């Protein structure tokens, strides 16, 4: 792909507020007197709205990359510069080799990258499935993770595998009762 430094310009209406946001921050870090103006009607929506006026951090994992870095609710601004992430930065986060060549309009490049699954994630998913299949269950795995699997209950192997095994036992028992 080479070092493509193509990126979207941040719209002026967003720049005004993004200028107040430092690396790793989002709309919740805006001065109190401009939050309502910045968020508009979105301020009254439920949820954390963490994608609004968001700058990435050099020292923390990136959120999921979508097909555009400049959507209002999913903004991915550069940590220190007044711009979106570049195509090259997007591709690096998704673990594309620098040698890959992407072609198309700027919007197409971001779509190609945003629709991809990072190879590291694919590896971990595959390893977890194989571990599960082979009976290699480590109840300490979730506690060792720097980034939890999910904020939803029942999704870590610490919770899922025992629940899954109970469900299997329950079905086997039901089958025995019906025979």
Same domain (yes/no): 133, 102: no
**Does the residue 51 lie in any domain?**
yes
Same domain (yes/no): 125, 87: no
pLDDT 10s digits, 29-78: 999 999 999 999 988 888 878 889 999 999 998 998 999 999 888 899 99
pTM: 0.71
pLDDT 10s digits, 103-160: 999 999 999 999 999 988 889 889 888 988 888 877 676 667 666 666 666 666 667 7
**Does the residue 73 lie in any domain?**
yes
Dihedral pair phi/psi, residue 21, rounded to 5°: -100, 130
Number of domains in the chain: 2
**Does the residue 25 lie in any domain?**
yes
**Does the residue 93 lie in any domain?**
yes
């Amino acid at each position: 792909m080479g070092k493509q430094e193509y990126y979207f310009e941040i719209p002026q209406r967003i720049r005004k507020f993004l200028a107040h946001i430092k690396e790793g921050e989002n709309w919740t870090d805006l001065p109190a007197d401009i939050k309502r103006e910045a968020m508009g009607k979105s301020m009254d929506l439920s949820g954390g709205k963490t994608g609004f006026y968001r700058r990435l951090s050099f020292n923390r994992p990136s959120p999921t990359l979508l097909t555009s870095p400049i959507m209002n609710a999913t903004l991915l601004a550069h940590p220190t510069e007044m711009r979106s992430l570049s195509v090259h930065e997007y591709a690096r986060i998704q673990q594309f080799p620098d040698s890959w060549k992407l072609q198309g309009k700027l919007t197409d490049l971001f779509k190609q990258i945003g629709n991809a699954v990072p190879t590291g994630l694919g590896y971990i998913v595959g390893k977890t499935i194989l571990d599960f299949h082979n009976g290699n269950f480590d109840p300490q795995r979730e506690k060792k993770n720097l980034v939890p699997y999910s904020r939803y209950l029942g999704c870590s192997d610490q919770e899922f595998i025992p629940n899954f095994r109970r469900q299997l036992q329950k079905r086997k028992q039901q089958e025995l009762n019906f025979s």
